[in-house]
Amino acid sequence: MWMSELPPFIPFFIAALLALFTRGWVRGLIVLATPVLGGLHLWLDVEPGINQTVSILEYELSVMRTDRLSLLFGYLFHIAAFIAAVFALHVRDTTQYVSALLYAGSALGAVFAGDLITLFIFWELLALTSVFLVWARRSERAIRSGIRYLIFQVGSGVLLLAGALVHYQQTGSLAFDFIGLEGLSGWLIFIAFGIKCAFPLLHNWLTDAYPEATPTGTVYLSAFTTKVAVYALARGFPGTELLVYIGAIMTCFPIFYAVIENDLRRVLAYSMINQIGFMVCGVGIGTALALNGAVSHAFNDVLFKGLLFMTMGAVLYRTGNMNGSDLGGLYKTMPKTAMLCIVGASSISAFPLFSGFVSKSMVMTAMIEEGYDYLWLMLLFASAGVFHHAGIKIPYFAFFAHDSGIRTKEAPLNMLIAMSIAAVLCVFIGSQPQYLYSLLPWEVDYWPYDTTHVLAQLQLLFFSALAFVWLNKQGLYPPELHSINIDAEWFYRTLLPAGARRIADSVQVTGRDLTDAAIRSFKQGGKSLSDTRLGRFHLAINWPTGSMVLWITIILGFFLLADVVL
């Protein structure tokens, strides 16, 4: 009985401690066994309805609250942790092993948290543990990017804590259930979730930090932080209509940046925001079909986006380069990685028989059923766009665009195994969606493989591919260039530093002018004094030593008198 009430994050935290003091195959076995044993425990021993609490001072904190929603994300995070661990088996960096285990455990702690304070604790642990996966690359860009990432993440936690305290003051409860946008607390918590969910204008931490992480660290990062935020929105703000509009914008604007981006992992970072937009729309619609679509698409996104990040991580590991302009022709020496990349690209593009098709369609159907016709057209455009920048651009420029002359080895065996596991799951879920549907939190009455839907999706993909080929042949497709593209981060990476420098220069000039003016005033005052009868007395000229002593005596006497009186 006690095993069923063991919080799922504890095995990961214990494993992190063991990984700190072990090496070699022993550490590898610990890292692999932890998500396997933890996942089996969650699947076999844990059922909905458990609420494990601990008492701290006069507060009861719920460290494990289970229902079908939290269990679904619990299964997902164990699968993701295992695949990422296999992919990282060749790594010998203790920092990455320990931080990755703590990071995965923090994500599990967050999705099973039953109150806002417990959620806040793991919310901040997510930030503190994940930043080391960025810093582990040990480059100047990675260090600076990690600092900016941490500022965003910690800021999100501060807003969450403030919202939780205001919510407790207003309601007398810290329970993490439906919150809504009624009152200040709801807005504070909503923005906190929005930062981790990469809402527009709050998203730059993702596109800034993920491409700078290590090849293995990015795989972990892609699986947990944003998916915890999607879970939090589904728990706290289902049916909040504002999310429909935010999600629609999220699906569209990253497309334009992804198309012009040269760094292929940065392309995938923009693509991640695009896919999260579909999930946010589903949460905002709030019907059973839409919510099921949102959480199932989060499940699938971890697999196919993780697969794409793994293939690009393998390319980076072997070539040391991630620019589309410098790659190409790698299918000759990395054919298995290229094929697995195509599976991930097909899945994210929602090809029939691949995982993206069976989850994204649920959100699209719910959108049109609820009368959001114009927003549905935005999502349709976004579906075509993701095929351009992730479905075609990623494999094309990495493996096929032109022969870069790079001849390298195939990805290491452990990387190929991890990518193959993710690819098999993408195909299995896409061809047998009923198994995923059976795990969804709300009742499912939907089947994606009807003739109309399949033909419509194939037409969309066909004409999108035709547009890519035509634009490429006409020289109209944006070329891969060595450049740095920034979007909303321009405000804090360019505008604010420039403004601060300008203010500092103005203060310096003003201070110099004031100093010069003061000196001129003293000089003018001294000249005026010398023209008076006192000045003509020549006190300091005729008796310099005596004058100095006299004035010192007068001043000391004044202070002595003041001290006696006061």
Mean pLDDT estimate for the chain = 89
- Which residues pair with residue 115 across a beta bridge? 175
Contact 20, 94 (CB under 8 A): yes
Q: Determine the average pLDDT of the residues in 526-548.
A: 52
Answer with the residue of higher pLDDT: 527 or 209: 209
| pLDDT over 50 (residue 564) | no
Q: How far apart are CA 95 and CA 214, in angstroms?
A: 12
Residue 558 has pLDDT above 70, yes or no: no
Question: In this structure, are residues 192 and 153 in contact, taking their beta carbons and an 8 Å threshold?
Answer: no
Instruction: Say if residue 355's pLDDT is above 90.
Output: yes
Strand partners, 175: 115
The answer to whether the CB of 114 falls within 8 A of the CB of 126 is no
Contact in structure between 122 and 106 (CB atoms under 8 Å): yes
Give the residue extent of every domain in the chain: 1-236, 238-480, 489-528, 532-566
Q: What is the DSSP letter of 263?
A: B
Q: What's the confidence (pLDDT) of residue 539?
A: 45
Which of residues 469 and 35 earns the better pLDDT score?
35
Complete DSSP assignment for 497-548: HHHHHHHHHHHHHHHHHHHHHHHHHHHHHHHHHHTSHHHHT-HHHHSHHHHH
Tell me the two tokens of residue 484.
Answer: 């740095």
| 124 has a pLDDT exceeding 90 | yes
Res 545 pLDDT > 80: no
Structure tokens at 414: 């452990």
At 216-260, the pLDDT tens digits run: 999 999 999 999 999 999 999 999 999 999 999 999 999 999 988
- Measure the CA dihedral 223/225/230/234, to 10°: 110
Least Cα distance to 129 among 152, 149, 106, 146 occurs for 106
Length of the chain in residues, anyone? 566
What tens digit of pLDDT does each residue of 469-518 get? 888 777 777 776 666 777 777 777 777 777 777 887 778 777 787 777 77
Sign of CA dihedral 123, 249, 255, 358: positive
Q: Which residue has the tokens 């599990």?
A: 108
Q: Pull the structure tokens for residue 26.
A: 């022993």
Backbone angles phi, psi at 443, to 5 degrees: -60, 135
| Residues 30 and 15 sit within 8 Å (Cβ to Cβ) | yes
264-285 helix and 242-260 helix, angle to the nearest 10 degrees: 170
Query: What are the angstrom distances between the C-alpha of 380 and each of 150, 324, 350, 363, 364?
Result: 34, 27, 12, 11, 8
Structure tokens at 292: 């099921």
Give, in degrees to the nearest 5, the angle at Cα 212 between 209 and 217. 90
Query: What amino acid occupies position 547?
Result: S
> Model confidence over 394-418: pLDDT tens digits?
999 999 988 888 889 999 999 999 9
Rounded average pLDDT over 83-103: 95
Alpha helices, DSSP H only, in 67-139? 68-87, 94-111, 116-135
Residue of 276 and 2 predicted with greater confidence? 276
Q: Is the pLDDT at 536 greater than 60, yes or no? A: no
* pLDDT the model gives residue 544: 52
Closest CA to 441 of 272, 234, 273: 234
Taking CA atoms, 193 is separated from 105, 188, 268, in Å, by 19, 9, 21
Longest dimension (CA), the chain: 112
Question: Quick check: 19 pLDDT over 90?
Answer: yes
Q: Could you tell me the two tokens for 52? A: 């494990």
Give the residue-averaged pLDDT of 275-299.
Answer: 96
How far is CA 329 from each of CA 275, 400, 402, 421, 474, rounded to the nearest angstrom? 28, 5, 6, 25, 22
| Buried/exposed 472-489: b ≥16 CB within 10 Å, e otherwise | eeeeebeebeeeeeebeb
pLDDT: which is higher, 328 or 116? 116
Q: Output the pLDDT for position 514.
A: 79
Pick the range with the lowest mean pLDDT from 175-179, 236-240, 312-316, 459-463: 459-463
Above 80 in pLDDT, residue 2? no
Are residues 195 and 152 in contact, defined by beta-carbon separation less than 8 angstroms? yes
pTM across the whole model: 0.87
Q: What is the Cα–Cα distance from 247 to 250, expressed in whole angstroms?
A: 5
Q: Could you tell me which residue, 34 or 541, shows the higher pLDDT?
A: 34
Element (H, E) at 53: strand 51-56
Give the Cα-Cα-Cα angle 61, 66, 72 (nearest 5 degrees).
130
Residues 6+ apart with CB under 8 A from 59: 117, 174
Question: What is the dihedral sign for C-alpha 514, 515, 518, 524?
Answer: negative
On whether the CB atoms of residues 430 and 297 are closer than 8 A, the answer is no
Q: Is the pLDDT reported for residue 12 higher than 50?
A: yes
Rounded to whole angstroms, the Cα distance separating 191 from 519 reads 52
> Residue 538: its pLDDT value, please?
47
In 3D, which of 72, 385, 435 has the Cα closest to residue 230?
72
> How confident is the model at residue 504, as a pLDDT?
76
Helix (H, G, I), strand (E, B) or coil at 558: helix
Rounded Cα distance, 316 and 337, in Å: 12
Q: Is the pLDDT score of 534 beyond 80?
A: no
Could you give the CA distance from residue 549 to residue 73 in angstroms, rounded to a whole number? Answer: 84
What is the rounded radius of gyration, in angstroms, for the C-alpha atoms of the chain? Answer: 30
**What does residue 52 show for φ and ψ, rounded to 5 degrees?**
-95, 125
Q: Which residue shows structure tokens 């094309």?
A: 396
The residue to which tokens 């002018």 are assigned: 513
Helix (H, G, I), strand (E, B) or coil at 54: strand
The secondary structure of residue 271, as a DSSP letter, is: H
Helices (H), 261-328: 264-285, 288-319
User: For residue 556, is pLDDT > 60?
Assistant: no
How confident is residue 554, by pLDDT bands cut at 50, 70 and 90?
low
Q: Which residues pair with 52 in a beta bridge?
A: 64
- Pick left, alpha or beta for residue 445 (phi over 0 → left; psi -120 to 50 → alpha; otherwise beta): beta
